[in-house]
């Protein structure tokens, strides 16, 4: 029998101290494997729909590289002749 798994997710309780206060941080987070690629992260929230039924909403996204999304401070273009 062929393995038909497309995604595997492991969820653990999220550490709220890693998120901004007041943000909609996930209740659970963990690693995810999609089509054999382990470079994904899953987040899950406990929510209620309009009818009041509880459910878990899950999001999967590619892991960000540590410097991705941040501009490095490169001082090579600083002109030291400015008097302030």
pLDDT number for residue 76: 59
Cβ atoms within 10 Å of 26's Cβ, excluding its own:
20
* H/E run at residue 18: none
Of residues 41, 12, 47, 44, the one with CA closest to residue 25: 44
Question: Would you kindly state where each structural domain of the chain is located, as residue ranges?
Answer: 7-62
Q: pLDDT averaged over consecutive 10-residue blocks of the chain (84 residues)?
A: 80 88 87 95 94 95 73 58 61
pLDDT number for residue 69: 53
Q: Rounded to two decimals, what is the model's pTM?
A: 0.66
Give ∠ CA 49-55-56 in degrees, rounded to 5: 125
pLDDT number for residue 22: 75
pLDDT number for residue 64: 82
């Amino acid at each position: 029998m062929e393995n038909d798994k497309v995604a595997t997710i492991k969820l653990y309780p999220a550490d709220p101290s890693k998120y901004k206060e007041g943000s909609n941080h996930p209740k659970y987070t963990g690693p995810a494997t999609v089509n054999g690629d382990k470079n994904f992260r899953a987040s899950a929230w406990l929510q209620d729909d309009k009818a009041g039924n509880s459910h878990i909403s899950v999001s999967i996204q590619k892991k960000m590289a540590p410097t991705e999304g941040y501009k490095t401070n490169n001082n090579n273009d600083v002109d030291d002749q400015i008097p302030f």
